[in-house]
Amino acid sequence: MESRLDVGGGEIVYETIGDGDVVILTPGGRHGRDVPGLRELAGGLAERGLMAVIWDRRNCGAADVGFEGRSESHMWAEDLAALAVALDRGPVLLAGGSAGSRISLLTAVLRPELTRGLALWWVTGGLYGHFGLAAHFSLPMIKAVSDGGMEAVADLPEWAASQQANPGNRDRILTADPEQFRATAIRWLEAFVPDSRNLLPGVPTDSLRGIEAPALIFRSEESDPMHPAATTDALDRVLADSELVAPPWSPREWPAIDAAMHQGSFACWERLAAPIADWAAARRGDGRLSVTE
């Protein structure tokens, strides 16, 4: 059963699956909780004794749209923190791929008291990754509002799924002040400007060094320009307590996985359930991953 949560700037939507220590799963892009592969991953974690939480953050799925925050990732991190607080289960394991990994890390930076551990894959970085995010998330909005106001923004294909799942979102977009929206979109774009001080888009490397929670990092493929292996390797060196492991798929499978990802399917994520659950159990056993109260 889905639940709605008011986070101050709108409502988000979430579901819990299973019972046990809490894992909040965050997908990439502006995908919601029904993106192929996410619910299957949640089910696999639940079968292994964990409570998996899948959710629609603002601008995703059936959640309300929202245009605030230092960056869209920061807004999403605030949503994730609000969800963790509302669950009232103590610190939680934050897990996510692509944008979901960035949101999880940013939440760990901003709200360490809510973070029991991290499981991360498809971590976006590098020049290609930064420019790719700008081209996908920010530039179409800036172009649309500049050329045709908020109606042009509402008509962008990127917002079609959100409006279909939550019809009130069209009015929320149309009634937004165009000048304020444009200023927000430009501010969000700044997070994607490559900066030698930021390993991840909009996230200073020094802030990542302060994360004390243990992290499981699945190494990216060498041939993935959006989520380069160099970024996961560097993240492993930056975090204080991390373990870098191979993903549960082979390099030979990557072309098909990559093609599915670009079609909005994360079907391979189901395979992550076993290694994440095993890692969490091992960390509980050695005392480095505290059990949720």
Judge if 43 and 75 occupy the same domain.
yes
Question: Of 190, 209, 232, which residue is a domain's last?
Answer: 190
Cα 93 to Cα 116: distance, rounded to the nearest angstrom: 5
The CATH number of the domain holding residue 59 is 3.40.50.1820
Residue 262 is predicted with a pLDDT of 86
Residue indicated by tokens 């008509």: 155
291 domain residue, yes or no = no
Grade residue 291 by pLDDT with cuts at 50, 70 and 90. very low
Judge if 51 and 85 occupy the same domain.
yes
Q: How many domains does the chain have?
A: 2
Judge if 20 and 79 occupy the same domain.
yes
Judge if 48 and 87 occupy the same domain.
yes
Judge if 118 and 135 occupy the same domain.
no
pTM, two decimal places: 0.96
Judge if 177 and 32 occupy the same domain.
no
Q: What percent of the chain stands above pLDDT 70?
A: 98
Residue 20 is predicted with a pLDDT of 96
Judge if 144 and 259 occupy the same domain.
no
Digit-coded pLDDT (tens) for 236-281 = 999 999 999 999 999 999 999 999 998 889 999 999 999 999 999 9
Give me the domain span that covers residue 110: 3-126+197-285
Q: Is the per-residue pLDDT at 112 higher than 50? A: yes
Contact between 13 and 2 (Cβ < 8 Å): yes
290 domain residue, yes or no = no
Q: Is the per-residue pLDDT at 293 higher than 60? A: no
Cα 123 to Cα 99: distance, rounded to the nearest angstrom: 7
Judge if 117 and 207 occupy the same domain.
yes
172 domain residue, yes or no = yes
Judge if 216 and 159 occupy the same domain.
no
Judge if 177 and 259 occupy the same domain.
no
Q: What DSSP line would sit under 80-126, residue for residue?
A: HHHHHHHHTSSSEEEEEETHHHHHHHHHHHH-GGGEEEEEEES---H
Q: What mean pLDDT, rounded, does the chain reach?
A: 95
Digit-coded pLDDT (tens) for 38-69 = 999 999 999 999 999 999 999 999 999 999 99
Judge if 93 and 229 occupy the same domain.
yes
Judge if 142 and 23 occupy the same domain.
no
Digit-coded pLDDT (tens) for 159-177 = 999 999 999 999 999 999 9
Grade residue 287 by pLDDT with cuts at 50, 70 and 90. low
